[in-house]
Copies of this chain bind each other. A is one copy, B any other.
Amino acid sequence: MASNYLAKSNTSEIPSATISRLVIYLRILEELANNDIREISSEKLATLAQGSAFQIRKDLAYFGTFGTRGAGYTVPTLLRELRRILGLTRQWNVVIIGMGRLGQALADYPRFVHYNYHLSAAVDINPELVNKEFSGLKVEDIGDLSKIIKERMVDIGFLTVPQKSAQEAADALIQAGIKGILNFSPSIITVPDNIHVETVDFLAGLKRISYYIK
Contacts and interface: CB of A to CB of B under 8 A. Distances in A.
A68 interface: no
Q: How many copies does the complex hold?
A: 2
10 contacts: A5-B20, A6-B24, A19-B208, A86-B207, A86-B208, A88-B210, A101-B108, A180-B210, A182-B205, A198-B209
Contacts of A16: 208
Interface residues of A, number: 62
Contacts of A179: 213
A201 interface: yes
A88 B211 CA distance: 8
Interface in A43-58: 48-51
A81 to B, nearest CB: 13
Contact of A49 (B6, B101, B156, B214): B6
A153 interface: no
Interface string A22-57: 111011100000000000000000001111000000
